Amino acid sequence: MIKSKKNTKISIIIPLFKETEYFRETIRECLALNYDNFEILVGIDNNSAFRSDHTKVTVFKTGKSLTGPGEKRDIGILRASGELIAFLDDDSYPDKKWLKKIVEVMGSKKVSAVCGPGLTPPADNFSKKLTGAILSSRLGSGPYFYRFIKGRPSLVDDYPAYNLIVTRAALLKIGGFKTKFYGGEDTTLCLKLIQSGEKIYYHPDIVVYHHRREFPFEYMRQVGNVGLHRGFFAKKYPQTSFRISYFAPAIFMLGSIVFISMTFILEKFQFLIAVVSIYYFSVFLYSLIVNTILISLLLPIALLINHWTYGFKFIRGLFLNKLER
């Protein structure tokens, strides 16, 4: 919990992989926040040339040529002077009232960690908006779709670090991330917070905008990495990862293979066409409620690619004995 609601100092930590226009946008929007008492700490690898002369921006090197986001954030936590630590990705940017809302919610709810949605930026292109439609749909993200839209306020036990804010005291108590996972480092952190007795509160007004990956190939690499880690975590961290919702895409994938195979073996092609048609038009009509016609036309196919990619990698992760960056 924070000691005061007024003028609480906040340290924004951004692990930088490589300098891009999205990252420059992140810094630019952070500096334009409607809040005064904050600092920005950017963690870079030794081979990065990024520099900043702004008084609110501190750049620190990790001492290595390649480090994961969890490692960079851990160094940033030790260097931070704020009472609160706010994590952003290098391809996300905050709403102008982000820090004010953080202080307001943490003060009223008396929790040590808060989080909020990562919305699709309005300027993203069509391909990325299609990815956003997958993520923000119940059919795409299951019960976790609230991470990508403005959902209902609630306590959560696992949340991505593109918009996660924790008191520095709580982070020091659990030892920070202390992991080399890349695509799941935030799951390990949240689990340690929960096990230490802390609570994480999701509020829809704590908003950042998170750029999506291009569909299909960039997004398939991303969702495949998520599936791989979640499959591995189902064994390693069953407290928050051994859940039917995380197994569902893999079950769907295997069921689809069996169903399609049986229709060919039994030559029931009419039945296959009927089921596929019902699926397609049901998803299309469901999508039209919030999406454009063109996105709705493609979403049924995009969801299949999403679930098959995640499901395949999830199963692979289940059988891994070791997983590193």
What pLDDT score does 183 carry?
Answer: 80
- What is the chain's Cα-based Rg? 21
- pLDDT tens for 166-216 read 999 999 999 999 988 888 899 999 999 999 999 999 999 999 999 999 999
Please report, for the chain, the start and end positions of each structural domain, with discontinuous segments joined by +: 10-116+159-212, 221-318
10-116+159-212: CATH homologous superfamily? Spore Coat Polysaccharide Biosynthesis Protein SpsA; Chain A (3.90.550.10)
Nearest CA among 289, 311, 100, 115 for reference residue 210: 115
What pLDDT score does 299 carry?
Answer: 98
Q: Using DSSP, state whether 85 is helix, strand or coil.
A: strand
What pLDDT score does 145 carry?
Answer: 98
Specify whether the backbone of 120 is left (phi greater than 0), alpha (psi in -120 to 50) or beta.
beta
As a whole number of angstroms, the distance between CA 205 and CA 224 comes to 29
The Cα angle at residue 42 between residues 149 and 166, in degrees rounded to 5: 50
What phi and psi, each to the nearest 5 degrees, are found at residue 39? -135, 155
Alpha helices in the chain (DSSP H): 21-31, 69-79, 98-109, 126-135, 138-141, 168-174, 185-195, 217-236, 238-241, 244-265, 269-287, 293-318
Residue 123 pLDDT grade (very low, low, confident, very high; cuts 50, 70, 90): very high
Mean pLDDT computed over 221-237:
97
> Looking at the predicted structure, is the pLDDT value of residue 4 above 60?
no
What pLDDT score does 64 carry?
Answer: 80
As a whole number of angstroms, the distance between CA 199 and CA 105 comes to 13
Mean pLDDT computed over 258-272:
94
What secondary structure does DSSP assign to 13-39, as a single string?
A: EEE-SS--HHHHHHHHHHHT-S-SSEE
Question: In the predicted model, what is the mean pLDDT of the chain?
Answer: 95
Residue 260 pLDDT grade (very low, low, confident, very high; cuts 50, 70, 90): very high
Residue 256 pLDDT grade (very low, low, confident, very high; cuts 50, 70, 90): very high
Residue 325 pLDDT grade (very low, low, confident, very high; cuts 50, 70, 90): low
Range of weakest confidence among 45-54, 81-90, 291-300: 45-54
Entry pTM: 0.94
Return the amino acid letter for 132. G
